[in-house]
């Protein structure tokens, strides 16, 4: 039960952080030079790649460890999915708010 509450808190906090961060990226995007646009795209993709790599590492550890650490790695995977979901929700929210 505590893990579920922690994952919900992580989801909300990461969505709020990524929403503010994406809003700042999109704010000056039209006025930027092509090199700054490319740098902004790289900065937008980097957190998702980092969380994806962390999730892949947890899945690989789950496959290697077997049943000994299965429950702990399952909980870690749930936290990683919460972070990734929060990033996705925050970016989608910022893009939707920017288009209106």
Confidence at residue 98, expressed as pLDDT on a 0 to 100 scale: 62
Residue owning tokens 């994952």: 7
Tens digits of residue pLDDT in 9-49: 888 888 888 887 777 777 766 777 778 777 777 777 777 78
Distance in angstroms (rounded) separating the CA atoms of residues 82 and 78: 6
How confident is the prediction for the chain on average, in pLDDT? 79
Residue owning tokens 């429950």: 71
Q: How many CB atoms lie within 10 A of CB 58?
A: 20
Between the alpha carbon of residue 7 and those of residues 33, 44, 82, 84, 89, the distances in Å are 39, 23, 6, 11, 14
Mean pLDDT of 80-88: 86
Give the predicted TM-score (pTM) of the model: 0.71
């Amino acid at each position: 039960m505590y893990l579920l509450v922690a994952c919900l808190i992580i989801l909300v906090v990461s969505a709020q952080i990524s929403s503010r961060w994406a809003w700042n990226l999109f704010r000056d995007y039209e006025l930027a030079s092509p090199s700054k646009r490319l740098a902004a795209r790289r900065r937008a993709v980097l957190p998702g790649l980092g969380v994806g790599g962390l999730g892949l590492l947890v899945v690989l550890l789950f496959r290697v460890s077997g049943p000994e650490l299965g429950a702990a790695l399952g909980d870690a995977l749930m936290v990683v999915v919460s972070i990734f979901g929060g990033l996705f929700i925050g970016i989608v929210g910022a893009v939707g708010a920017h288009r209106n």
